[in-house]
Structure formats: structure tokens, C-alpha cells
Amino acid sequence: MVTASSTESEKVSVGKMFVRSITQAPWTWRIMLTYLTIMLFIPVIAMLLKASTVGFARFWQIATSPIALATYDITFTTSLVAALINGVFGTLIAWVLVRYDFPLKRFIDASVDLPFALPTAVAGLTLATVYSENGWIGSLLAPFGIKVAFTRLGVGIAMIFISLPFVIRTVQPVLAEMEKEIEEAAWSLGASEWQTFRYVILPPLLPAILTGVALGFSRAVGEYGSTVIIASNTPFRDLIAPVLIFQRLEQYDYAGATVIGVVLLGISLVMLLGLNLLQAWGRRYDTSSSTRRVGH
């Protein structure tokens, strides 16, 4: 029979073991834990504690209000579509940069990192100018009734812009390490270009593509600077969750902003977990495909 005193002693012993394992761990491990605690765990815990002060009923009311639900839909759906589009075109761009030599290749390759370095507010201002009805691209789309700036489509364009490098930079090293002789062997055995891509090139590329998509999705969900400029920030049209949080802060509604932040955090973690599971599936798919190729 387990008594209360024995349970308490077990908790104390577990605590002592945890403290002992930390104090006896390598210094690199302790630095890592300290850094992650200060920069990641404490802010997240503080946000959760702040959100818990409103009570469950009030939390649920704020989290499921119509305007909050609309911003979740716009933020996550648009981010996912932007990440998937970059998954296709980012892979294509990486392929061209790795497999072909052409004038200004180094310049174009360096330009891929521009969204990393460009301040997001500048990116938003640039995109709003180019895609406005009088802009270079917006004026071409306006006769067809397509309006980009200050619409949800503009939000998607901004998310595609800022998340594009993630796919390219994760796929490029994998493509560079792939041996072209394997593709040539597949062609010599009678495989078509599609079969070569489907069974030889895609399996080792898939984990890198999914990683780039996951990183791009995460970056797009948290984007604020560019989207707040290119969108009209109208509720139920193109208002994203980060902007709603900022609006709540401007109204001194700190608890409401924290609640929406916690919901964003939870949904992001669930979606990233799903993408990580896809990555694991991609690695297993690559391994099983390689095993089958060796067997043949």
C-alpha cells in the first residue's frame, strides 16, 4: 500500500535526481538548458500564466469570439497555402540554381536571401506599391478585376515573399549532394523523365521540402510588419491574428491579447507537429525507397 509519506519521499528523490543530473551534466548541456530557459521556456510560461488569470469562461469567450475565429482562419489558411506554393516554386528555383549555369547566377542566388535581410516594414511598403492598382503588377491585374493590395490576396503575397528562402535554402544542399549519375542510370534503363523524378529524385528531396515548408509556414504565421501594410486590416476580410493582438494591446486589453497569443501558440504547435510527422514519413519513405533500389 502506498502511503502519502512514501509518495512525498519519492517526489523528493526524483527532484534530487533531477538536480543532480543537471549539476553533473556537461557544461555545454547546462548552457543550452539555461539559454533555452531564459529565451524560450520562461516567456512561454509567463504568457500561459497571464492568459490563465482571466478564467476559463472568459478565456473561451475571447478565444472563440467571431473576430478571433476569422483571424485564425485568415492567418493559418493563408500561411499554409503560401508555404505549399513556396514548396513547389522554391524547389523549382533551387533546382535551377543547382543544376544550371547562367549569367548573373551568383547575383540571383544571393538575392534569394533578400527577404531575410529586408526589414518587414520595407517589404510591406514595396509590395503594397508594386501590387496596388497603380503599381507595376497591380495595374496589369486590375483590368481583370483582380485586386491584390489591401485584400487577403495581398496578405498571401506578403507571406509568400517572406517565407520563400526557407524552402530554397533547405532544398539546395540536398540537391547539390545528389549524384547525377543515378539519374543517368535511370534514363539508360528506360525510365522516363517523370519516372526518374518520381522514383529517383523526389524521395531524397521530400524531407528537405517538408522541412522548408514547415519553416516557411512558421515564419508566415508570425509575420506582422509586411502584412499590416499591404492589408487593409478589416475584420472578417484580411485581418490576421498578430494584427488583432496588436489592436488589443492598443486598447490596453492585455489579457485579451495574451489569450489570442496562447491560441496561436497552441494551433501552431499542433500544425508543426503534423508537419514533423510528415517529415518523419518522408524520411522513412526515402529509406524504404533506397532499400528497394538496392534490392533491385
Helix (H), strand (E) counts: the chain:
17, 0
CA 192, 171, 219, 273 torsion: positive or negative?
Answer: positive
pLDDT given for residue 90 in this prediction:
95
Residue 149: HSE in the Cβ half-sphere, 13 Å Cα cutoff: 22
* C-alpha to C-alpha distance for 281 and 210, rounded to whole angstroms: 10
Per-residue pLDDT reduced to its tens digit, 235-278: 999 899 999 999 999 998 888 899 999 998 888 888 778 877 87
What are the cell numbers at 262?
496562447
* C-alpha to C-alpha distance for 168 and 90, rounded to whole angstroms: 5
Q: Which residue has the higher pLDDT, 157 or 179?
A: 157
Where does residue 135 fall: left (phi above 0), alpha (psi -120 to 50 degrees), or beta otherwise? beta
pLDDT given for residue 6 in this prediction:
58
CB 87 within 8 A of CB 212: yes
Alpha helices in 65-151 (DSSP H): 66-72, 78-99, 105-111, 114-117, 120-131, 138-141
Confidence grade of residue 1 (pLDDT, cut at 50, 70, 90): very low
10 Å Cβ neighbour count for 282?
A: 20
Provide CB contacts within 8 A for 36, sequence distance 6+.
none
Overall residue count recorded for the chain in this entry: 296
Per-residue pLDDT reduced to its tens digit, 199-219: 888 888 888 898 899 889 988
The residue among 241, 109, 104 whose CA lies nearest residue 172 is: 109
pLDDT given for residue 38 in this prediction:
92
Per-residue pLDDT reduced to its tens digit, 45-99: 988 888 888 888 888 999 999 999 999 999 999 999 999 999 999 999 999 999 8
Q: What is the CA radius of gyration of the chain?
A: 24
CA 134, 136, 137, 139 torsion: positive or negative?
Answer: positive
* C-alpha to C-alpha distance for 102 and 272, rounded to whole angstroms: 37
On the question of pLDDT at 3 being above 60, the answer is no
What is the average pLDDT across 26-32? 86
Q: Give the H/E segment covering residue 186.
A: helix 180-188
- What angle (nearest 5°) sits at the alpha carbon of residue 54, between those of residues 49 and 59? 100
On the question of pLDDT at 296 being above 70, the answer is no
On the question of pLDDT at 5 being above 60, the answer is no
pTM of the complete model: 0.81
* C-alpha to C-alpha distance for 171 and 128, rounded to whole angstroms: 29
Mean pLDDT score of the chain: 85
Please name the amino acid found at residue 138. G
* C-alpha to C-alpha distance for 282 and 209, rounded to whole angstroms: 10
